[in-house]
Amino acid sequence: MKRPRIILNIFSSVDGKTTTARDRNVTEWTAKGLDGDAHEYTNRLYDELNCDGLVSGSETLMVFGNHWVELDRPLYEPKKSKAYIVFDGRGRINWYQSDGLLVVTREDVSNDYIQQLKEKEIPYIQAGKGDYIDLHLALEKLYEKGFRRLGLNGGALMNGAFLREGLIDEVSLFFAPLAIGGSNTPSIFDGPELETLDDAAKLELLDMKKLRGGTVWLHYLVKQ
Ligand SMILES: NC(=O)c1ccc[n+]([C@@H]2O[C@H](COP(=O)([O-])OP(=O)(O)OC[C@H]3O[C@@H](n4cnc5c(N)ncnc54)[C@H](OP(=O)(O)O)[C@@H]3O)[C@@H](O)[C@H]2O)c1
């Protein structure tokens, strides 16, 4: 199967939490000046890593829209990305902003949702039926559309699903100078527990940097 290379690029607290608590928009860290510029660094790195598309999970978009956080200056917008690709398997999102958007959904999603995408002229692909999008098939279709290097942008369940399917090739992490804690707080990778340690993804450190603002960057290759 030909698929784009997947580069997880995300920022978290030092304990690996990717937001304050469930249903909280992580942009509040940036708005309060607490993220050590990790959000901005993450956005800039998509271009340095030559990502031609960015991928997000549906819950991230729902939280973002329902718990809007205003910033006093806009964050860097990646220039090399041709599309913001949202995996909305259940067709939950009512889209109001469609510029540069590409939706991935299931083949058995409701007709109403497909109608919405058509009316708003939002490009979409369908991959798999049942509980979730078929991630392998979705990536194959994205490859056919010309995508070669996708930046995986969270949230936790989306990252965890890609991890379990062995679909992550590189891991880029910005650790902001914060400790959040919490047992149910979204983390870098969430999802079902591992059954055996043999299935853990083994990483090779490629690079690391201490950045201004107290943020630390680590870049790993996933050993196949
Ligand atoms: N710090 C950061 O860099 C960062 C980045 C992004 C988000 N966040 C934060 O993360 C939070 C949201 O994260 P979240 O984990 O709740 O949600 P999420 O990962 O954004 O959304 C869950 C996604 O996972 C999909 N999914 C779950 N299991 C799957 C499987 N086995 N196969 C295929 N797809 C599967 C769901 O599919 P369906 O659509 O079909 O349900 C859904 O698209 C927000 O608070 C946001 O602020 C932080």
What is the per-residue pLDDT for 96?
93
C-alpha separations of 104 from 40, 142, 180 in Å? 26, 9, 32
What is the per-residue pLDDT for 181?
98
**66 within 8 A of 94, measured Cβ to Cβ:** no
Q: What confidence tens digit (pLDDT) does each residue in 69-92 have?
A: 999 999 999 999 999 999 999 999
Q: Which domains does the chain have, with CATH numbers?
A: 1-6+34-175 (3.40.430.10)
Q: What confidence tens digit (pLDDT) does each residue in 88-146 have?
A: 999 999 999 899 999 999 999 999 999 999 999 999 999 999 999 999 999 999 999 99
Q: In angstroms, rounded to a whole number, what is the distance separating the alpha carbons of residues 161 and 200?
A: 13
What is the per-residue pLDDT for 148?
98
Determine the average pLDDT of the residues in 206-214.
97
Q: Which residues have C-beta atoms less than 6 Å from ligand 1?
A: 10-12, 18-19, 24-26, 57-60, 63, 87-90, 132-133, 135, 153-158, 161, 186, 190
The token duo for 3 is 């698929």
What is the per-residue pLDDT for 91?
98
What is the per-residue pLDDT for 42?
98
Q: In angstroms, rounded to a whole number, what is the distance separating the alpha carbons of residues 39 and 12?
A: 9
- pLDDT at 177 > cutoff 90: yes
Atom number in ligand 1 closest to CA 42: 3
What is the per-residue pLDDT for 1?
84
Q: What is the mean pLDDT of the chain?
A: 97
What is the per-residue pLDDT for 56?
98
Q: In angstroms, rounded to a whole number, what is the distance separating the alpha carbons of residues 134 and 204?
A: 28
198 Cβ partners below 8 Å, 6+ apart? none
Residue 33, Ramachandran bin (φ over 0: left; ψ between -120 and 50: alpha; else beta) = left
Atom number in ligand 1 closest to CA 89: 40
Distance 54 CA to ligand 1 centre (A): 14
Determine the average pLDDT of the residues in 61-70.
96
What is the per-residue pLDDT for 224?
84
